[in-house]
Amino acid sequence: MLDIQLLRTDLNHVTKKLASRSYRFPIEKFNQLEADRKKIQTQTQELQAKRNAASKLIGQAKSKGEDTTSIFTEVASLGDELKQFEIILGQIQSELQNILLEVPNLPHDSVPEGSGEEDNQEVRRWGQIRSFNFEIKDHVNIGESLKLLDFETAVKLSGARFSLIKGSLARLHRALTQFMLDTHVQEHGYTEIYAPYLVNRDSLQGTGQLPKFEEDLFVVNTAGKTAHGDKNTTGFYLIPTAEVPLTNIIRNEIVALKFLPMQFVAHTPCFRSEAGSYGKDTRGLIRQHQFDKVELVHIVHPDQSYEALETLVNHAEKILQKLELPYRVMTLCTRDMGFSAAKTYDIEVWLPAQNTYREISSCSNCESFQARRMQARFRNENGKTTLLHTLNGSGLAVGRTLVAILENYQNADGSVSIPEVLQPYMNGLDLLRIVGGQ
């Protein structure tokens, strides 16, 4: 959430920055609400002054033995008016709050302006793209030929955009998860968290998914709660990413300076309705309703958040380097960033069958945007409570990493070599084969 004082003091600058994100701020409505707020506050102050003056008259009249009935009546009347003004002011502030909850974060000055992914800027590349001397298969053909990837049964069980992974491929999926967690905990110093997969509305509002993106979420309607299709105010939501529970650990907290920075990592399934993505990536594991991620979250001092962003990206890159998967790092332009981000780097892994790079991690600095929504603060060097900065990124998306391994490590005979770093997690298995013991 943006600081309302920034809107009050520099509205033109804020609206210009928001326009670069293709967001049109409701200037007229905001200005009208602000004018009403100021008017009510002025009237409230005037009434309070009258009531204070009248209260003094009561004391003076009593000391002189005079009748105070009329003055008491006036004070009571002023009190009733003040209560009405308080109600009106609360309504105005609620409307202002609703506006703020819909407004995306301001892009950092280093973020390139652009209208879409074609305007994202490449930062660096890593790894050698493999040359194949046979016809490249995509991950779906590879997995189905190995009889380890079963979309038909998944459709029977749940519907479209679900998958069933079997045998040694399921084991490889599990090995990837364990390898990522071990790397981030043992080498990068993260604290591992086992987090809830169901969260309440406050948690999703804190990180920015609500209220604007409710259609992207899966709602769990419990008995006696809201009916399907109604606004879910009391029930649970399935998490779209572990960013939600990890970041909300500090919601409504004041963190001691000595505990900063915090680095959390969690492996969770993630659930997304993929509203608005129909027709996109319908084949395979790229865009699923249910998928696994290893998520990284940093909670840091505001002065250190951009240094932390570079660290976060490097930690995610390290996984791809150990797996020897080629990738590139991109700075997202203003109109391609997520709602809560001030700056985002995407890491894109090379997929041979698509002959292109595809996103496998998105690492963002949200600055104080989420912290203001959550009221997540710390005591700074001067003992003053100050908003924290929050960052998050995938380290990595497990399913997409599996896709990258299947395609980059495929062999002419249909088998798939297992990256060397994963073989200890596979009890020494070095190959996914077409036949035998799967």
Q: Is there a binding annotation on residue 118?
A: no
Q: Is there a binding annotation on residue 63?
A: no
Q: Is there a binding annotation on residue 274?
A: yes
Reply yes or no on whether the pLDDT at 227 is more than 80: no
Q: Is there a binding annotation on residue 242?
A: yes
Nearest to 438 by CA among 165, 29, 226, 57: 165
What's the confidence (pLDDT) of residue 53?
79
What's the confidence (pLDDT) of residue 360?
98
Determine what percent of the chain is predicted with pLDDT higher than 70: 92
Q: Looking at 332-435, which runs of residues are DSSP E strands?
A: 343-351, 356-365, 377-379, 385-387, 389-397, 416-417, 431-432
What's the confidence (pLDDT) of residue 259?
97
Q: Is there a binding annotation on residue 360?
A: yes
The mean pLDDT of the chain is: 93
With vertex at residue 111, the alpha carbon angle to CA 378 and CA 117, rounded to the nearest 5 degrees, is 120
- Tens of pLDDT along 20-42? 999 999 999 999 999 999 999 99
Q: Is there a binding annotation on residue 20?
A: no
Q: Is there a binding annotation on residue 241?
A: yes
Among 34-48, 248-262, 382-396, name the one with the lowest average pLDDT: 34-48
- 117-432 shares the fold of 26-102: no
Q: Residue 430 has which token pair?
A: 């070095």
Q: Residue 129 has which token pair?
A: 């793209």
The architecture CATH gives domain 26-102 = Orthogonal Bundle (1.10)
| Domain residue extents for the chain | 26-102, 117-432
Name beta bridge partners: 198.
238
Instruction: Please state which CATH number belongs to domain 117-432.
Output: 3.30.930.10
Reply yes or no on whether the pLDDT at 275 is more than 80: no
At residue 429 the predicted structure's pLDDT band, cuts being 50, 70 and 90, is very high
Q: Is there a binding annotation on residue 168?
A: no
Q: How many CB atoms lie within 10 A of CB 342?
A: 24
Q: Is there a binding annotation on residue 113?
A: no
Reply yes or no on whether the pLDDT at 54 is more than 50: yes
Q: Is there a binding annotation on residue 125?
A: no
Q: Is there a binding annotation on residue 394?
A: yes
What's the confidence (pLDDT) of residue 231?
57
Q: Is there a binding annotation on residue 191?
A: no
